[in-house]
């Protein structure tokens, strides 16, 4: 029974697409009507519509699901459709690179006994090199009569009639789509040529999908290679590294050093809560770090990058390791949080070397103080019985001055060693700044460089008492006054004030020297930084005095600095909370 033509709307219902999709296919001549009604309505062959649907489904699958099996299916369906549409004896698609080297062949109607992919594939030369594009396919009635009838391997079946077209995508990947009939078979018609032209569109989509798949595969290979290198870098890192995913809070990776410090395996997928149970952190003062204070938790919860912190890492067996810990969030491409990384370094050896250095400095300074005191005492005794203004007395004065310098240097080294080791704490008591200033002025005027100098005190009568360490603050004033006397001529003024709003005490030491270059205002408070002034009396300082002052004031919760005076000279100042417990 002959097939009954169907309407466009009925055809759309059969293949499950909107009728407008088929209407556009008709406009492109992808589907042609086989008849029409007296009223002018086109009717279509159901078989043609179903073939179009198969080609459309294959191309859409290749475009929407970019993987090797789907692309292969789409390309292998094209020869099958071509044979069904034209009745050709066999059809083939040979995919080539831009240089013409064949990559793969997809065929239908050819012998399945041959391993086509291992044989020499048809090349894009001879007849295949002459194939036209979709708008001008190559059609031959007798291939043997054509002067370019070569390019096919010896094992290829004999052909007489040939219909072929070349397909290429934007990336340069090419394919030859050709149909052939055996000797004795019929030639190809205009209708066959039209059907082949329509298939070219689907072959183009399949090639584009193949190109996308190859690019995706290459990117995947590159990503996997980069991930392996990244994992290798983490694994061999000399510091502890732990990476945790933000959403699931599971372990994404860890270094060998991290596992050593934890004393436990850190398996991928382990939860952060489980990792936190393997160790306990204490800050540099020995205080337990709470869960919310853990650097990695802060990075995940607040997206906070923590500065390196000295901590004690306590393992489950109770052993402790000094570490420097930092953590940072890792952002996602969409602006969210992807993960967070914890980095911690075992500083046991650094602490051991530092402890040895501090112990050595402490031992040296203590051992030097006794002989220096003996030398100073003997020099003073000899000076008392020597003739005034004699060479002997001049030499004894020089010895006494050198001993004072060495004693100051030893004291500074010892103080700095104690400050760095944390053994010099702040011993607060109720005291008054006026008493500290009076004692410091007296000591300065009695010193070698203070003789004949004038130090004026400005202390308001309502200056309140404070809760501080008078000994350490006195040491700060001793250093500032000593510098003012040694390195600046003229009088020195000490001004004290109280700020009731901020509840702070401020002290200023004002000299009449040349001032301090603005560019060096911050540097002079660094350890071992030295500034020699042209009018200084005596030798260059040790570079520790102002660094000690900065540490002392910092321990009191205050600030220290220097300003140049408009009429010459410099003002060294410091301020701190009167009562830190009330601040």
At residue 273, does pLDDT exceed 80? yes
Residue 319: partners with Cβ closer than 8 Å, 6 or more residues away:
263
Question: 3-class secondary structure for 268-289?
Answer: CCCEHHHHHCCEEEEECCCCEC
Q: What is the mean pLDDT of residues 290-314?
A: 91
Q: Indicate whether 370 belongs to any domain.
A: yes
Q: CATH number of the domain that 371 lies in? A: 1.10.287
Beta carbons of 217 and 126 less than 8 angstroms apart? no
Residue 94 pLDDT grade (very low, low, confident, very high; cuts 50, 70, 90): confident
Q: Indicate whether 38 belongs to any domain.
A: no
Beta carbons of 549 and 476 less than 8 angstroms apart? yes
- Cα separation, 437 vs 202, in Å, equals 95
Q: What angle do CA 24, 26, 30 make, to 5 degrees?
A: 100
Q: CATH number of the domain that 91 lies in? A: 3.30.450.40
The pLDDT value given to residue 114: 54
Q: What angle do CA 530, 534, 536 make, to 5 degrees?
A: 70
Strand 492-499 with 455-458, pairing: parallel
pLDDT tens digits, 171-184? 666 788 888 887 77
- Cα separation, 204 vs 69, in Å, equals 17
pLDDT tens digits, 418-444? 776 666 678 899 999 999 999 999 999
At residue 210, does pLDDT exceed 80? no
Average pLDDT, the chain: 81
244 in the same domain as 201: no
Each residue of 105-118: b (16+ CB within 10 Å) or e?
A: bbbbbbeeeeebee
The pLDDT value given to residue 296: 92
Q: Indicate whether 30 belongs to any domain.
A: no
The pLDDT value given to residue 246: 92
Beta carbons of 392 and 398 less than 8 angstroms apart? no
Q: Residue 517: CA atoms inside 13 Å, Cβ hemisphere, count?
A: 8
Residue 214 three-state SS:
helix
Bigger pLDDT: 490 vs 510: 510
CA–CA distances in Å: residue 99 to residues 102, 155, 212? 9, 23, 19
Q: Which two tokens stand for residue 310?
A: 């000295």
Question: How many whole angstroms from its chain centre is CA 453?
Answer: 59
* Phi, psi angles (nearest 5°) of residue 365: -65, -40
- Cα separation, 40 vs 422, in Å, equals 101
Q: Indicate whether 384 belongs to any domain.
A: yes
Residue 98: partners with Cβ closer than 8 Å, 6 or more residues away:
172, 173, 174
Q: CATH number of the domain that 519 lies in? A: 3.30.565.10
356 in the same domain as 342: no
- Cα separation, 240 vs 243, in Å, equals 10
In this structure, the dihedral spanned by the alpha carbons of residues 205, 211, 213 and 217, taken in order and rounded to 10 degrees, is 180
442 in the same domain as 410: no
Q: Indicate whether 26 belongs to any domain.
A: no
380 in the same domain as 335: no
In this structure, the dihedral spanned by the alpha carbons of residues 323, 324, 329 and 330, taken in order and rounded to 10 degrees, is -90
314, 346, 378: which is the final residue of a domain? 346
Residue 12: partners with Cβ closer than 8 Å, 6 or more residues away:
18, 19, 21, 22
562 in the same domain as 439: yes
Bigger pLDDT: 219 vs 3: 219
Q: CATH number of the domain that 285 lies in? A: 3.30.450.20
Nearest-10 crossing angle of helices 545-555, 470-487: 150
Q: Which residue segment(s) compose the domain that 210 sits in?
A: 75-215
* Phi, psi angles (nearest 5°) of residue 339: -165, -175
Question: How many whole angstroms from its chain centre is CA 337?
Answer: 13
- % of the chain beyond a pLDDT of 70: 85
At residue 209, does pLDDT exceed 50? yes
Beta partners for 245? 339
The pLDDT value given to residue 469: 92
The pLDDT value given to residue 65: 47
- % of the chain beyond a pLDDT of 90: 23
330 in the same domain as 361: no
Q: Indicate whether 37 belongs to any domain.
A: no
Q: Indicate whether 8 belongs to any domain.
A: no
Query: Which residue has 């006794």 as its token pair?
Result: 370
- Cα separation, 372 vs 349, in Å, equals 34
Beta partners for 340? 244, 329
Q: Residue 215: CA atoms inside 13 Å, Cβ hemisphere, count?
A: 8
Beta carbons of 519 and 508 less than 8 angstroms apart? no
575 in the same domain as 494: yes
At residue 281, does pLDDT exceed 70? yes
169 in the same domain as 85: yes
Q: What is the mean pLDDT of residues 361-367?
A: 73
The pLDDT value given to residue 226: 77
Q: Which two tokens stand for residue 482?
A: 């000593």
Q: Residue 448: CA atoms inside 13 Å, Cβ hemisphere, count?
A: 13
Helix (H) or strand (E) holding 360: helix 348-385
Q: Which two tokens stand for residue 361?
A: 């400095």
At residue 525, does pLDDT exceed 80? yes
**Where in 274-355 does DSSP place strands (E)?**
279-283, 309-315, 320-331, 337-346
402 in the same domain as 271: no
256 in the same domain as 191: no
Q: Which two tokens stand for residue 135?
A: 């708008």
Q: Which two tokens stand for residue 469?
A: 């360490």
366, 398, 421: which is the final residue of a domain? 421
At residue 297, does pLDDT exceed 50? yes
Q: Indicate whether 283 belongs to any domain.
A: yes
421, 445, 469: which is the final residue of a domain? 421
pLDDT tens digits, 450-479? 888 889 999 999 999 999 999 999 999 999
Domain count, the chain: 4
Q: What is the mean pLDDT of residues 142-150?
A: 73
Residue 338 three-state SS:
strand
569 in the same domain as 488: yes
Helix (H) or strand (E) holding 417: helix 391-421
The pLDDT value given to residue 535: 42
At residue 503, does pLDDT exceed 80? yes
Beta carbons of 544 and 528 less than 8 angstroms apart? yes
Q: What is the mean pLDDT of residues 72-94?
A: 83
Bigger pLDDT: 119 vs 567: 567
CA–CA distances in Å: residue 565 to residues 145, 338, 507, 536, 570? 107, 54, 15, 18, 5
157 in the same domain as 94: yes
């Amino acid at each position: 029974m002959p097939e009954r033509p169907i309407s466009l709307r009925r055809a759309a219902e059969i293949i499950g697409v909107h009728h407008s999709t088929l209407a556009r296919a008709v406009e492109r001549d992808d589907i042609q009507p086989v008849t029409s009604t007296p009223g002018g309505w086109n009717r279509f062959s159901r078989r043609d519509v179903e073939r179009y649907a198969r080609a459309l489904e294959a191309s859409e699958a290749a475009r929407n699901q970019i993987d090797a099996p789907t692309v292969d299916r789409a390309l292998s369906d094209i020869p099958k459709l071509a044979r069904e549409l034209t009745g050709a004896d066999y059809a083939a698609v040979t995919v080539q690179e831009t240089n013409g080297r064949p990559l793969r062949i997809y065929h239908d109607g050819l012998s399945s006994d041959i391993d086509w992919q291992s044989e020499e594939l048809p090349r894009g030369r001879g007849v295949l090199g002459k194939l036209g594009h979709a708008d001008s396919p190559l059609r031959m009635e007798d291939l043997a009569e054509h002067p370019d009838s070569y390019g096919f391997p010896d094992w290829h079946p004999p052909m007489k009639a040939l219909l072929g077209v070349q397909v290429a995508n934007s990336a340069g990947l090419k394919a030859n789509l050709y149909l052939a009939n055996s000797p004795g078979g019929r030639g190809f018609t205009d209708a066959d040529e039209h059907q082949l032209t329509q298939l070219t569109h689907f072959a183009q989509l399949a090639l584009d999908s193949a190109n996308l798949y190859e690019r995706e595969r290459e990117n995947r290979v590159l990503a996997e290679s980069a991930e392996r290198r990244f994992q290798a870098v983490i694994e061999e890192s000399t510091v502890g590294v732990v990476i945790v995913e933000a959403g699931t809070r599971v372990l994404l990776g860890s270094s060998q050093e991290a596992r050593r410090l934890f004393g436990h395996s850190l398996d991928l997928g382990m939860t952060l809560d489980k990792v936190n149970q393997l160790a306990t952190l204490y800050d540099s003062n020995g205080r337990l770090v709470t869960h919310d204070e853990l650097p990695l938790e802060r990075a995940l919860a607040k997206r906070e990058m923590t500065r390196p912190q000295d901590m004690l890492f306590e393992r489950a067996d109770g052993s402790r390791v000094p570490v420097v810990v930092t953590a940072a969030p890792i952002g996602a491409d969409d602006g969210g949080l992807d993960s967070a990384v914890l980095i911690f370094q075992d500083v046991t050896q650094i602490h051991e070397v530092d402890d040895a250095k501090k112990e050595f400095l402490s031992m040296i300074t203590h051992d030097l103080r006794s002989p220096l005191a003996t030398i100073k005492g003997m020099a003073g005794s000899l000076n008392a019985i020597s003739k005034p203004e004699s060479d002997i007395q001049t030499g004894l004065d020089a010895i006494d001055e050198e001993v004072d310098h060495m004693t100051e240097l030893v004291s500074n080294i010892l103080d700095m060693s104690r400050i760095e080791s944390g053994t010099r704490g702040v011993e607060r008591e109720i005291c008054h700044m006026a008493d500290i200033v009076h004692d410091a002025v007296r000591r300065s005027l009695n010193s070698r460089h203070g003789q004949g100098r004038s130090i004026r005190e400005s202390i308001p009568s309502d200056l309140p008492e404070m809760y501080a360490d008078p000994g350490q603050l006195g040491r700060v004033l001793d250093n500032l006054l000593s510098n003012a006397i040694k390195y600046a001529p003229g009088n020195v003024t000490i001004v004290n004030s109280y700020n009731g709003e901020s509840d702070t005490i401020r002290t200023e030491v004002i000299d009449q020297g040349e001032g301090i270059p603005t560019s060096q205002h911050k540097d002079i408070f660094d350890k071992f930084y030295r500034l020699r002034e042209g009018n200084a009396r005596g030798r260059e300082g040790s570079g520790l005095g102002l660094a000690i002052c900065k540490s002392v004031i910092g321990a009191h919760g205050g600030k220290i600095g220097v300003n140049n005076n408009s009429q010459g000279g410099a003002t060294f100042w410091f301020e701190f909370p009167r009562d830190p417990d009330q601040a």
